[in-house]
Amino acid sequence: MQKKFFLLAAASIAVVLASGCANTEQKFGRGLSNTFEIVRLGELRRTMEQTALFESPDAGYTTGFVRGFNRSLARTGVGLYEMVTAPFPPYHPVFTDYLSPGPVYPDNYTPGVLDDSLFATDTEVGFSGGEVAPIVPGSSFRIFDSP
């Protein structure tokens, strides 16, 4: 029994050490980002927008909503899968024929850097630029944003 346990522990340590860090953290980060899709709702908003533009405005509110909700659930499931399987290969994005690897946003809104002292270039003034209210849907007001 102890030999089997020792062999299992040695094999698991070898797998963890052989997997490398960079690929594992990229896969885990991508999975974490995709898991929070259900909260962010970027896929839902983009799908509704695209359906309204390419089919009809009425379809955007009905078909687009259902299609976007399904895509959000799929992205959340892929994120959970990537988080659980992060230490194990393959490290490339999965299901890319249905979902893009990175987070998606509607074409009418792409988020920028938050207006926070972490990203501020001039902390003496108290603010320097970035998003003011990113939690408000549709907010695109930015301080010192030049075109």
> Are 47 and 14 in the same domain?
yes
Bridge partner list, 130: 143
> Are 62 and 18 in the same domain?
yes
What pLDDT, in 10s, does the model give residues 109-135? 777 776 666 666 665 655 555 566 666
Print pLDDT tens along the chain (147 aa): 677 777 887 777 766 656 557 788 889 999 999 999 899 888 999 999 999 999 999 999 999 999 999 999 999 999 999 999 988 888 888 888 888 888 888 887 777 776 666 666 665 655 555 566 666 766 655 555 555
> Are 33 and 86 in the same domain?
yes
The rounded mean pLDDT for the chain is: 80
> Are 116 and 53 in the same domain?
no
> Are 27 and 12 in the same domain?
yes
> Three-state SS string across the chain, please?
CHHHHHHHHHHHHHHHHHHCCHHHHHHHHHHHHHHCHHHHCHHHHHHHHHHHHHCCHHHHHCHHHHHHHHHHHHHHHHHHHHHHCCCCCCCCCCCCCCCCCCCCCCCCCCCCCECCCCCCCCCCCCCCCEECCCCCCCCCCEECCCC
Rounded to two decimals, the pTM is 0.65
> In the chain, how many domains are there?
2
Range of the domain at 146: 111-147
Judge contact between 19 and 87, C-beta under 8 A.
Answer: yes
Residue 87 has a pLDDT of: 85
> Are 80 and 15 in the same domain?
yes
> Are 76 and 102 in the same domain?
yes
> Are 76 and 95 in the same domain?
yes
> Are 102 and 117 in the same domain?
no
Residue 15 has a pLDDT of: 66
Residue 82 has a pLDDT of: 92
> Are 65 and 133 in the same domain?
no
